[in-house]
Amino acid sequence: MSQQELIRKYNVPGPRYTSYPTVPFWNMDTFSLKAWKASLKQSFIESNAKEGISIYIHLPFCESLCTFCGCNKRITKRHEVESPYITALLKEWQMYCDLFDAKPKIKELHLGGGTPTFFSSENLKRLIKGLVNRAELANNYEFSFEGHPNNTTKEHLQTLFDLGFRRVSFGVQDYNETVQKAIHRIQPFEHVKYVTETAREIGYTSVGHDIIFGLPFQTVDHIKETIAKTKQLMPDRIAFYSYAHTPWIKGNGQRGFNDQDLPKPEQKRLQYDIGKTLLIEAGYTEIGMDHFALPTDSLYEAMAKESLHRNFMGYTASKTQMMIGLGVSSISDSWYGFAQNVKGLEEYYHLIEEQIIPVFRGHILNNEDLVIRQHILNVMCHNKTSWKSEHLKFEALNETLSKLDEMVKDGLLVIESERLKITTKGRPFVRNVSMAFDVLLQRKQPDKPLFSMTI
């Protein structure tokens, strides 16, 4: 079967599996703030001293709306919003610290958004110092942030470097002006060049670029042009994402163009295949799904050591059992449970003032969830999994394997001796393989669109 035929066959809506169970299948009947706190305490006792914890901080403010973006954001040019938000974040962090019987040990910290560099250097310094003052730092900790090339200053980069940040990623998306106008993200190559080179001069050891394929009006030539310019800068890490067109979820933010302006699935896949070939020719290695790295980057080293991990921050080079999300819409993970913060800024502020951890939904994992979660992590991070150990078997395993028969016939994976391995041909379909393990999705197919297309 040709690649085009495989794309037509397997291009269906599916999760990106930054968690299992995925958010639409969380069971609110078994979730409560009390149960969530109990799962946090259990996980902290098991993991803090051994490996530390991760922190994700959502900074939601942006000065303008990018129409490709599916993140929770608040559009404003009023920078007086910065200080009250940081005050609330630090109060939320204190509530988590009060749950534990020891100081949290921070292994990984990431600033996401929104636009983290919307905030002034001084306010970001106040935030990071406030977090670290209530914690310890693990050995080889990693601090990272997302920077907007148009507003990341040398002062931002220097201040965060001085606070321990060594990794930064810049959202490039595409360098073509027509595409940039369609997604409302005008940024010249010179801006990306400046922040990339400045970060390196200061001493950042991992500078990443985010590129998106499948955008409105985007062509293969645009991908070639964007990667040619990317090669001039050779970022250490590249996220080469498929544009997730989900306007039924994200609303008007993804209606700045018409559906017919988007590349067809076959064209979109061609954009990825050509982009991937060009990146590999330039010396990058494909890491998991959507990611590429140079051999000197920590993500490559994690893949080589089979220590690659995936959570709500995407792929990470270091695994921690617990991740605490701070700020509006952030998702936390205790391994035994998930919890998401309220999405509205006003409600978030109200709950913080009432000294209530501001979660509004979540899921406590049962034994079956925990086993399947491990299989999907194995597939997404290592392109393989095994059920030789008794604790990795689950009731619907035979049913799962039968759903994979067709993929075996199509040469996408090999199953033998209580294990499976995805072939090179099958790697573009890793989400489809994971979906076969997703018993919650199989038991209750959604009656309306929930996910982007897998290809």
* Position 284, amino acid: Y
Query: Residues forming the annotated binding site for S-adenosyl-L-methionine?
Result: 56, 68-70, 113-115, 146, 173, 185, 210, 244, 331
Handedness of CA 44, 46, 52, 58 (dihedral sign): negative
The pairing of strands 53-59 and 323-326 is parallel
DSSP state of 290: T
Handedness of CA 113, 320, 236, 200 (dihedral sign): positive
Torsion of CA 368, 325, 24, 113, to 10 degrees: -140
- Token code pair at residue 114: 């929104």
Q: What pairs with residue 165 in β-bridges?
A: 143
- How far is 373 from 325, CA to CA, in rounded Å? 20
The answer to whether residues 10 and 284 touch, using CB atoms and an 8 Å cutoff, is no
Query: Residues forming the annotated binding site for [4Fe-4S] cluster?
Result: 62, 66, 69
Query: Residues forming the annotated binding site?
Result: 56, 62, 66, 68-70, 113-115, 146, 173, 185, 210, 244, 331
Exposure b/e, 300-318, CB count within 10 A at least 16 = b:
bebbeeeebbbbbbbbbbb
Residue 125, H or E segment: helix 121-132
Burial grade of 277 (CB within 10 A; 0-12, 13-18, 19 or more)? exposed
Number of Cβ atoms within 10 Å of the Cβ of 245: 18
The answer to whether residues 429 and 6 touch, using CB atoms and an 8 Å cutoff, is yes
